[in-house]
Structure 1
Amino acid sequence: MPCRLVVMRHGERIDDLFPDWIRKSTSSGSYQAFDLNMPLALPKLKRPFKYYEGDTIISEMGFVLAEMVGRGLLVNKSIPDIIYTSPALRCVQTAHSALKAMSKENEIKIRIEP
C-alpha cells in the first residue's frame, strides 16, 4: 500500500477573531466567553492568562472544522497511523479534534514535534 502524507493547518485562531480576547474574557479574574464562537472553558493548563497571547486556542468553529476533516478522513478510509503536530496549543487542539471525530483519540498517538 502506498504511503500517504496529509498536511493540515490548525483550526481558526481565537486571536484572529478577537485580538483583545484575553483582556475582555478575563477582566473578572477568571475566564468567561463573551462570544458564541469562544470555547466555554480554557484548557486545563496551569498557566497565567497572559501566556495564551503567544500560544492561543482555537475557536469553536476551529473545533468543528477540525472534526469535519477527521470525519472526511474516516469516510475516505484515510485514517492516519501517526499524527505529528507542532507544540503550539492550537495545533494540538486541531489534531485532537480530528482524531476525536474518527473515534481514534485513544488509539492513535499525537506526536508533538518542535
Structure 2
Amino acid sequence: MIGNLRLKQVRDQDARIVLIRRGESVSDVFPDWTKRAFNENGDYVPFDLNMPSTIRKRERIDDFLLDPPLTNIGAHFSRQLGLSMIHEVPTVIYTSPQLANIQTGRKLLEGIPVGVGWNIEPGLAGYYPAGADCPKFDVKLKKDTVLKVPYINSVLGKETLEEFHRRIAHVVSKLDFPLGESTIIVAEACVIDAIVQTFIRNGEGLTQKQRASLETRIPCLSMMHFDVKDNGKWRMSAASLPGLLSECAQMMSIPDVNFIVRPIFDY
C-alpha cells in the first residue's frame, strides 16, 4: 500500500524542498534491452510486460540506452507517489531534461489531486564523465530556465566532476523555492548527491568508493526532505519522507540518509 506523506510542522518562513530520484527506467532492469527490443526494420517490439508499449521515435537506437524511458512499474509507482501527496501538495515540480525524469514528473502530476506547476530545467541534467557517450536533448520548453538546452548539450561529456557540481549548485541556487510552500526536484542520484554536497555537506564530496554505491543508497523514487530558511540555509527535516511503502519489502524505496548527508566514513 502507499503511505501518505506525513504532515510537517514548518514555520511559514521556511521553504520545503523534497528531492526525489526518478522512477525505475528500462535500462535499470534490462541493461542491454535495445538489442532485443527492435526488429530488423528498426521497429520497437517490447519483450517484457514491464516495458512501455510504445516509445517515441529517435534518430539512433543507441540513444534509448543513453536516455531510457520509465518501465511500466516505474510509471505506475510515480503516479501512486503523486496520489499520496494529498496532505503535502507541492507548489511546483522541477525535473531534469532526461526522459525518465520528465516521465516521473508527468506521472506525479497525474496523481497529485490539484493543479501543480511543472518546470523542466535543462541545468539539472546528470553527470556524464568526460569522453563518455551522452544524450542530446531536444525538449521544447515554454518557460525560462536557468540554463538552456543548447548549452547543456554542449557541455555534457566534457565536464569534470567538480564542474558538474558547480553547475548543479548554480542552477539550484537560482530556482524559486516559495517560503511556506513545498517544491519537488526530480533528478538522477548523482544530481541529488551534488545538491546535498553543496547545501548540506558544505562542499564535502564522496570518495570514489562511496560514489560507486550511490544508486543503491538512493533508490528509485526515494525522497529526502529539507527545510530552507529565508537566509538560504538548508537543514535536513526531522520529517524526512520514506517515499513508497509496500507490504512487500522489495518495494521499499528508503534513501540511506545518514550516508548521503554525513559521509564521514569510507563505506
TM-score (norm 1): 0.84
Structure 2: tracts of 5 or more residues without a match? 1-11, 124-267
Matched, 1:33 2:29: no
Q: Which of these two proteins has the greater Rg computed from alpha carbons?
A: 2
The size of the alignment, in residue pairs, is 110
**Are the aligned partners of 1:71 and 1:101 in contact in 2 as well (CA < 8 Å)?**
yes
SS at match of 2:18: coil
Question: Contact (CA 8 Å) 2:38, 2:45: kept in 1 or not?
Answer: yes
Partner of 1:109: 118
Distance 1:30 1:46 in 2: 11
Partner residue in 1 for 2:78: 66
- What is the percent sequence identity of the aligned residues? 28
1:82 equivalent in structure 2: 92
Query: For the residues of structure 1 that align with 2:57 and 2:121, how far apart are their CA atoms?
Result: 16
Shift of 1:81: 1.5
More strand by share: 2
Which ranges of structure 1 fall in alignment gaps of 5 or more residues?
none
Q: Per-residue CA shift, 1:55-77, capped at 9, x if unaligned?
A: 1111000001101110111x21x
1:48 Cα deviation after fit: 2.3
Question: TM-score, normalization: structure 2?
Answer: 0.38
Question: Would the aligned equivalents of 1:66 and 1:94 in 2 still touch at CA under 8 Å?
Answer: yes
1:16-36 residue CA offsets vs partner (Å, 9 max, x unmatched): 211121110112320011101
Say whether residues 1:24 and 2:48 are aligned partners: no
- In structure 2, what is the Cα distance between the partners aligned to 1:37 and 1:100? 20
Offset at 1:103?
A: 5.4
Instruction: State whether residues 83 and 110 of structure 1, in contact with CA within 8 Å, keep that contact through their aligned partners in structure 2.
Output: yes
User: 1:25 and 1:92, CA in 2 relative to 1: closer, same or farther beyond 3 A?
Assistant: same
In the alignment, residue 80 of structure 2 is paired with which amino acid? M
What secondary structure does 1:83 align onto? strand
- The alpha-carbon distance between structure 1 residues 36 and 25, as it changes in their structure 2 partners (threshold 3 A), is same
* Partners of 1:55 and 1:104 in 2: CA distance: 30
Report what 2:19 is aligned to. 7
More deviation in 55-64 or 22-31? 22-31
- Superposed CA RMSD in Å reads 1.8
Change (3 A) 1:30 1:45: closer
Change over 3 Å in CA distance of 1:47–1:110 after alignment to 2: farther
> What SS is found at the alignment partner of 1:66?
helix
Contact 1:95 1:110 in 2 (8 A): no
